[in-house]
Chain A
Amino acid sequence: MKKYQLNIILFLLPLFFLGIINLLATHKPTISELENRKLKERPPLAAETLWNGQFFREYENYFADNFIFREEFVKISGAVPNLWGLPGQDKVTIVLNQGANVAAKQNKENNEENDSEKDNSQTEEKGSVTGKVLVLNDKAMEIHTFNAEASKYYADFINQFQEKLASEDCQVYSLIAPTQIEFITNAQYKKLSSPQKETIDYVYKHLKPNITTIDAYEALAQNTDKYLYFRSDHHWTALGAYYAYTALMEAKGEKPIPIQQYKVKQVKPYLGSLYSTTLSKAIKENPDTVYLYQPFSEHEYHVYYENPIKIPLLDMRHAKNANKYGIFLGGDHPWGKINTAQKNGKKIIVIKDSYANAFVPFLLPHYEEIYIVDPRQFALNIFDFIEENGIQEVLFLNYVLVTDNNGFTDLLREMSDIK
């Protein structure tokens, strides 16, 4: 080979080769299961978006999202940080979970003369969680940061919501679920996260006395030897949800159904959302198992989009997907309704994040109708909805990280038209 040729060929070949097969490859995935999101589509060419630059930003995202061998490249790139240091005795890392957006970051990089601008104006998905994740050996856990203002914002919302309810007999419950990091034994790593007991107490303290607070914390704290939380996902397991359910029953003065009454099915292996975030090898080698406590009461479950759709309460179609937590209630829907054979006239509405999905199935033996509302998608007037359906109990069930910032509460407020 002539002088310089190898260098030039080795440089140009990948550029042209990848460039061309990028153009030609047609069978590309449209959904990334690993990331739990739709991949960006080619933006439509329009004068307006072209002129204001939006087209180019979206095209850049589209180009990156549809790059050839993307999934493989992503996995390799996820392993690179492992080379940067010593893992130490405990394999511990902190991973940022910030839904990075290629073009949004580009703005900053373009502006070299202004590169002190820290304001990474990312296109942050409203209501999605951004923050830090601690990976301790084969366990990934979201880190909670106490935010007095946001906690009060959440509590105030529930107070205002209660005041706006038409019927005074409607009882409001608040259940804030602690997360896994609160119950790890290593005090040093636990300190990375704000004490959740204090956050929960802070919110509960700011609730009006006629709102009943549910002490799920204690019920979970007494059972930390059990499999209460997934190691690869930010949710609790059905068993964790069960202990929270016993706390609700205790507050209501009712007897919880013993867990032994349920038949259990297993789905494995499960690698959940925090595996996706961290791509931790240790977690991948030791995946989770989803235990499903089979409801024994007779029931019918509908989820409502334009039209009601009847689906199973534990929707096994999701067992094939990456996101197996989606089995519970079939994932998040604008709203859903469960009719049971308990003709006791009791009706409850659960306004919730996805923590409630594993929780709700345990309510079946206690209510005739259970309504499930996801504030991220619910579009009806919630107060009319409660009144028209004769609902007597409202349960707000969220995990503690919704108090880290105003994002989720804003959605709750928007849904309820509370400023």
Chain B
Amino acid sequence: MVFSSLVFLYAFLPLNLICYFICKNQTYRNWVLIVFSLVFYAWGEPIWVSLLIVNALINYLLALAVEKYRGFWQSKAALISAITISLGLLGFFKYWDFLVQNMNQLVGISLPLHSLGLPIGISFYTFKAISYLVDVYRGEVSAQKSFSKFLLYLSLFHQLVAGPIIRYKDIATAIDHRVHSLSLFNEGINRFVTGLAKKVILANTAGDTAAIFLNGDLATLPVLGAWFGITLFAMQLYFDFSAYSDMAIGLGKIFGFNYKENFNYPYIARSAGEFWRRWHISLGSFFRDYVYIPLGGNRKFYLRNLFIVWFLTGLWHGASWNFVLWGLYFGLLIALERFFLSKILEKLPRWISHAYLIFAVLISWVFFYYPDLQSVGAFFGAMFGWGSRELVNTQFSIYFSNNLFFFIIALLACTPITKVLGESIRKLTQKNTRVAFLYSETLRPSLNFLLLALATIMLVGKSYSPFLYFDF
């Protein structure tokens, strides 16, 4: 299931809220969340619930072993087995076919593919499990004694299928004792509705228009069409992904969990390094804490460590060479920035470093979008006007003028403008309680209501599928 669906909003969530808040006992509440999480996960892929539970069981038991034998070799053995099993399952489901295809091509053999498909969210919950095991091993958190509570951590539907990669130590106390309050519920609603609107109104619209330029005939794509298309795709990715994190954080607050931020306006960054400290923060910090630093970090083999991390970051996004290339591209930029680029950029006016980052990121999304190098090349051809190519064409003009306001709104939505506005409202209202009341008790609720209504209407609109030929 996804949050931005009618079934979630108008069946799953109301039922979940009733069942949850009817129970007064923390244990029952945890079970409500577990059952709903498993249904949420099973919706669409019932088979893989079993994999999720098995995964949870293995990691639960091995974490207990890690703790029990602390200081002995068995502890390390348990840790290594847990990581091996987790990565083994991830590797089998996500990378086996990719590996086999490459092997077959390279060596000329024909190993069979499993073609089982990718269990949803496996990339996220595998990393959650690994972070838990390592943290227990490092003694940063004690192992969870109750299996149901560990299953709750691993399966909690708020961040099960699309992140953020929440660490156990960050919500360990919340699993045992959660605080619920109207104030948190209120904040949760604000956050959830913001995310929902971002996804349904902004991400979907940007994606629909982007696809027209990115999926069309690249040989005749005009220069501005290419830039417009890739910019819209960049927006779609950001809105889509950060909206999912917004909704997860919002739901967390409603149910008494506090999740860390996962995005921090990445497109206002001024270097690739900064971009990655603002984009999918929970993934970047995972690789930093569990791969980069254990490898030696900045201290020894800096370049090796850097490229291992970025190779893996790329590969994590999908079992395909274009993602690897995409990851290594960022590794290269970050290395260059560290050696000399940052020093130069710092001396230049700010807008140049902004422009550099936007340019670099847009280029990266081309690798991200097209799985084959041929299309990547063709698209760069369009962006840089190789061959006899038009700057604009009719299709571009029509789409551009028909989406001009949307484009401006979307651009603004990539910046912290609403946050800044909110902050100034807060400052203003510190002095004036009547304005404060008007905002938080009237304006914001009405805005949320309107956004929820609009998102619902647009979700219903998505089901609109007229047929030219009668389909009875």
Chain A residues packing against B (C-beta within 8 Å): 1-8, 10-12, 14-16, 18-19, 22, 31, 34-38, 50-53, 56-57, 59-61, 63-65, 67, 69-70, 73-74, 76-78, 80-81, 83-88, 92-94, 96-102, 105-107, 109-118, 125, 127-129, 188-189, 191-192, 234, 273, 276-277, 323, 326, 331-332, 354, 376
Pairwise interchain contact B186-A63, C-beta atoms closer than 8 A: no
* Min distance, Cβ A20 to any Cβ of chain B, angstroms: 8
Q: Which of A34, A61, A74 contacts B461 (CB 8 A)?
A: A74
* Min distance, Cβ A56 to any Cβ of chain B, angstroms: 5
Contacts of B446 in A (CB 8 A): 10
Q: Does B416 contact A (CB under 8 A)?
A: no
Interface residues in B401-444 (C-beta closer than 8 Å to A)? 401-407, 440-442, 444
Known: A94-B398, A273-B466. A14 touches B118 (CB 8 A): no
Q: List 9 A-B contacts (CB under 8 A).
A: A3-B441, A4-B186, A14-B452, A37-B470, A56-B42, A77-B462, A84-B405, A118-B369, A192-B395
Closest to A123 in B: B465
Pairwise interchain contact A97-B461, C-beta atoms closer than 8 A: no
* Min distance, Cβ A136 to any Cβ of chain B, angstroms: 10
Pairwise interchain contact A116-B369, C-beta atoms closer than 8 A: yes
Closest to B161 in A: A110
- Binary flags per residue of B460-472, CB closer than 8 Å to A gives 1, else 0: 1111111111111
Q: Does B346 contact A (CB under 8 A)?
A: no
Contacts of B6 in A (CB 8 A): 60, 63-64, 67
* Min distance, Cβ A409 to any Cβ of chain B, angstroms: 15
Known: A11-B448, A85-B402, A110-B120. A64 touches B460 (CB 8 A): yes
Chain B residues packing against A (C-beta within 8 Å): 2, 4-7, 9-11, 13-14, 17, 42-47, 118, 120, 123-124, 161-163, 182-183, 185-186, 189-190, 193, 205, 208, 211-212, 214-215, 237, 240-241, 244, 316-318, 322-323, 368-369, 371, 394-395, 398-407, 440-442, 444-446, 448-449, 452-454, 456-472
List 6 A-B pairs, minimum CB-CB distance, nearest first: A77-B461, A64-B463, A112-B162, A84-B406, A276-B466, A73-B460
A1 to B437, CA, bound (A): 11
Pairwise interchain contact A53-B44, C-beta atoms closer than 8 A: yes
Closest to B369 in A: A116
Residue in A3, A73, A88, A127 with the greatest tally of chain B CB atoms within 10 Å? A73
A115 to B199, CA, bound (A): 14
A61 to B123, CA, bound (A): 27
Pairwise interchain contact B463-A61, C-beta atoms closer than 8 A: yes
Known: A19-B14, A110-B120. A10 touches B398 (CB 8 A): no
Pairwise interchain contact A100-B463, C-beta atoms closer than 8 A: yes
A161 to B94, CA, bound (A): 47
Pairwise interchain contact B464-A100, C-beta atoms closer than 8 A: yes
Contacts of A102 in B (CB 8 A): 5, 462-463
Closest to B185 in A: A8
A188 to B395, CA, bound (A): 10
Pairwise interchain contact B467-A1, C-beta atoms closer than 8 A: no
Contacts of B453 in A (CB 8 A): 14
Pairwise interchain contact A4-B185, C-beta atoms closer than 8 A: yes
* Min distance, Cβ A125 to any Cβ of chain B, angstroms: 6
Contacts of B182 in A (CB 8 A): 2-5, 8
Closest to A63 in B: B7
Closest to A13 in B: B449
Q: Which of A38, A110, A188 contacts B394 (CB 8 A)?
A: A188
* Min distance, Cβ A154 to any Cβ of chain B, angstroms: 18
Given contacts A85-B405, A332-B470, 20 further A-B contacts (CB under 8 A): A3-B182, A7-B186, A18-B10, A36-B470, A36-B471, A53-B46, A69-B460, A77-B464, A80-B457, A86-B405, A88-B398, A100-B462, A110-B2, A110-B44, A111-B120, A112-B162, A114-B118, A116-B318, A116-B368, A188-B394
Pairwise interchain contact B467-A189, C-beta atoms closer than 8 A: no
Q: Which of A11, A12, A109, A128 contacts B471 (CB 8 A)?
A: A128
